[in-house]
Amino acid sequence: MARSVGQTQVKIASGSLTREKLLDKWAGWLFVLPALLFFSVFTVYPMVYGLFLSLFKINSFNIDDRTWVGLDNFTKVVGDADFHKALLNTAVFSFFVVTLQTILALLLAVAVNQKIRGRTFFRTAFFFPSISSSVVISIIFLWVFNQNGLLNYALSTVGVKGPTWVDDPHTALPAIMGLNIWTTSGTMMILFLAALGDIPAHLYEAAAVDGANPVQRFFRITLPLLTPTTFFVVTLGLIGTFQVFDQAFVISNGSGGPEKSTLTAVFYIYQQAFKETNRMGVASAGAVILLVIIMAVTLIQRLLFRTETEQ
Amino acid sequence: MAVSNKLSLGTNHPNTVSETSELTKNLVKGLAYFFLIAFALIEFLPFLWSISTSFKSESEINAGFVRGFNWIPQQSTLVNYTDIFTKVEFGRWFVNSLIVGVVTTLFTLAFSSTSGYAFARIPFPGRNFIFWCIVATMAVPAIIYLVPIYILLKNLNLLDSLPGLIIPFMVTNFGIFLMRQFFTSVPLELEEAARVDGAGRFRTFAQVVLPLARPALAALTIFTFMGRWNDFLMPLIIINSPENYTLPLGMSTFRGLYKTDWGLLMGGSMLVMIPIVIMFVLFQRFFIEGVSYTGLKG
């Protein structure tokens, strides 16, 4: 009440000020409304719609023609040998890439954090690949992995005859793992480096006085204090690697081969939705399953890390 | 030096202790250098090799390593860089990518800064609930949107068009989150001073708050532009006609067509990277700060 009286008085004083006051009252909503509108249409709605679609059979030639099939799509996905293969490939890929890139990133960060020259140079150099297009990186690596490419040339100088990498079902997936680790380790290193800067120097000084060697200091101080960052780096890695697609697509030229060795979970979902007929519902069910897996892995990982820090 | 060590360490054999610790220090440093230089080489060699290939003639590339390992082309040629514009519509793809990247980024900046500011600074009913709902969607993997976005764009008649690659990405949960976190950490004084002086929310925002947010806006610009410039999956499912291709989509089909023309493929790859390299050189500080910033907040 008092407020409205105040506003009437202001109105008498100046018309433009009133308009501003009135706008002010609704300012919060006015600021968020446009963003919220787009967010609802292009994020919230598709998310819910995606769950909904997984329960329907969708006609590829007329996507508005849908039949309710209940959980049938889920049964189809779970029983599909290609999906098993895709999940296995993804799990193997994710395990090796996340483990190796986390260790590599941590070691690089510790190395850069020694009072060395060219700190900025190294930081920049390692970060650079992660800003490049995944398609371009894949094409560059196709050339590196070529039978007569850089890698096999390097191997030949030490007398090893390199495989045909991306054309061999045994080495195609490891090749993609290699290029992925090569790309993302630098970004992860920057996260570790930021956290290393937050560890108080007096802890290391005290440990040095107590006669702890660098290895002991790493395992007793650095590693435990970095646990939250390690958790974050591993989570980011898991979420990223579980959705690997671009590299597998370009390396295999859209086939997922040789012998489905580079067929990943997202690749499978893409093929079901856009390369098979009437399987968009199956693709949606696959996406829901992948969503549940990613969330479960993140959750389990969080629980593991939590008990570890509590000890 | 030795004396001060003796005093501070207070051990019986101060000299041996300080000498061994000096030795380990150098050893650790040496190891660090070795490791960093080795990794930097591994990171750079594929790029250098690609640059070198892009300036080589087809015959030199096909000769392979018979004539040894040439980092410097025997006869440098620009033929790969000119051919790519005539053999495929590379120029068109470049312009498409630029349009998609720039327009999406401008909208993202506008939407994220206004809404992020309100979520941080303007109390209104339901504010926190809405904000945390937006944050919760960040946990949802992008793959869940693949089919629904395709159907939605089809119904909006936006398939196979550049607006189809722009409109769905104008507002992102990440952008709102980043700006909100930034505005929460900005000191209140300046903003309050402006309010006391009688400036309304909108004037305060435009004249006081937005200039303060430059580092966050720079980071958001980089992430958004880079994300759109490099995106592959969405163009792959949405775009059909070669004249609507973006660079990554164009390059991937190009790789299917010109499988063995490595000079051309490398030339194209280098051209795709140039705008990002320029951005990286200009805004390097914001790139790395941005990663650390979002990383620490997450």
pLDDT in tens, B112-166: 999 999 999 888 888 999 999 999 998 888 899 999 999 999 999 999 999 999 9
With pLDDT > 70 as the criterion, what percentage of chain A qualifies?
A: 90
CATH of the domain at B109: 1.10.3720.10
pLDDT, position B12: 46
| Residue B200 pLDDT class (50, 70, 90 cuts) | confident
- Shortest Cα distance, chain A CAs vs residue B207, angstroms: 15
A31 touches chain B (CB under 8 A): yes
Which residues does chain A have within 8 Å of residue B280's beta carbon, measured at their own beta carbons? 128, 131
In the predicted model, what is the mean pLDDT of residues B241-260? 89
A56 touches chain B (CB under 8 A): no
A204 touches chain B (CB under 8 A): no
Is A284 in Cβ contact with B147 (below 8 Å)? yes
Whether B200 and A24 have beta carbons less than 8 Å apart is answered as yes
* Partner residue facing A143 (CB), from B50, B130, B169: B50
Is A136 in Cβ contact with B273 (below 8 Å)? yes
* Partner residue facing A214 (CB), from B24, B46, B172: B24
Is A108 in Cβ contact with B33 (below 8 Å)? no
Same domain, B108 and B7: no
Q: Does the structure show a pLDDT above 60 at A209?
A: yes
Same domain, B144 and B259: yes
| Domain coverage including residue B253 | 88-297
Q: Identify the CA nearest to A232 among candidates A198, A291, A192.
A: A192
Same domain, B153 and B36: no
Count CB neighbours of A212 within 10 A.
Answer: 16
Query: Between B175 and A198, where is the model more confident?
Result: B175
Q: What type of residue sits at position B241?
A: S
Residue extents of the structural domains in chain A: 2-53, 74-310
Number of domains chain B contains = 3
Q: Report chain B's mean pLDDT, rounded to a whole number.
A: 84
Which residues does chain A have within 8 Å of residue B139's beta carbon, measured at their own beta carbons? 295, 298
pLDDT digits (tens, 9 = 90+) for A243-300: 999 999 999 988 888 999 999 999 999 999 999 888 899 999 999 999 999 999 888 8
Whether B75 and B63 have beta carbons less than 8 Å apart is answered as no
Tell me which CATH homologous superfamily contains domain A74-310. Answer: MetI-like (1.10.3720.10)
Q: What DSSP letter does each residue of chain A carry, written as one string?
A: -HHHHHHHHHHHH-HHHHHHHHHHHTHHHHHHHHHHHHHIIIIIHHHHHHHHHTTEEE-TT-TT-EEE-TTHHHHHHHT-HHHHHHHHHHHHHHHHHHHHHHHHHHHHHHHHHTT-TTHHHHHHHHHGGGGS-HHHHHHHHHHHSSTTSHHHHHHHHTT-----GGGSTTTHHHHHHHHHHHHHHHHHHHHHHHHHTTS-HHHHHHHHHTT--HHHHIIIIIHHHTHHHHHHHHHHHHHHHTT--HHHHHHTTTS--STTTT--HHHHHHHHHHTSSS-HHHHHHHHHHHHHHHHHHHHHHHHHHHHHHH-
Query: Between A299 and A20, where is the model more confident?
Result: A299
Whether A63 and A283 have beta carbons less than 8 Å apart is answered as no
- Shortest Cα distance, chain A CAs vs residue B224, angstroms: 12
In the predicted model, what is the mean pLDDT of residues B97-114? 96
pLDDT digits (tens, 9 = 90+) for A153-193: 888 888 888 888 988 999 999 999 999 999 999 889 988 98
pLDDT digits (tens, 9 = 90+) for B253-284: 988 887 778 889 999 999 999 988 888 888 77
Q: Identify the CA nearest to A228 among candidates A275, A194, A177.
A: A194
pLDDT, position B273: 92
Give A91's contacts (C-beta < 8 A, 6+ positions apart). Answer: none
pLDDT, position B119: 93
φ/ψ bin of B262: left (φ > 0), alpha (ψ from -120 to 50), beta (otherwise): alpha
Which residue has 């079901």 as its token pair?
Answer: A272
Same domain, B231 and B194: yes
Same domain, B43 and B105: no
Which residues does chain A have within 8 Å of residue B273's beta carbon, measured at their own beta carbons? 132-133, 136
Which residues does chain A have within 8 Å of residue B200's beta carbon, measured at their own beta carbons? 20-21, 23-24, 27
In the predicted model, what is the mean pLDDT of residues B239-251? 95
With pLDDT > 70 as the criterion, what percentage of chain B qualifies?
A: 87
Is B269 in Cβ contact with A136 (below 8 Å)? yes
In the predicted model, what is the mean pLDDT of residues B72-78? 82
Same domain, B162 and B18: no
Same domain, B20 and B138: no
Is A245 in Cβ contact with B233 (below 8 Å)? yes
Q: Does the structure show a pLDDT above 60 at A136?
A: yes
Q: Report chain A's mean pLDDT, rounded to a whole number.
A: 86
Interface test with B, best of A42, A63, A222 (most B CBs within 10 A): A42
Tokens (6 digits) for A2: 């008092």
Is A132 in Cβ contact with B276 (below 8 Å)? yes
- Shortest Cα distance, chain A CAs vs residue B34, angstroms: 10
Using CA atoms, how far apart are residues A33 and B196, in angstroms rounded to an integer? 26
| Residue A308 pLDDT class (50, 70, 90 cuts) | low
Nearest CA in chain B to A123: B288
A34 touches chain B (CB under 8 A): yes
With pLDDT > 90 as the criterion, what percentage of chain B qualifies?
A: 42
Q: Does the structure show a pLDDT above 80 at B250?
A: yes
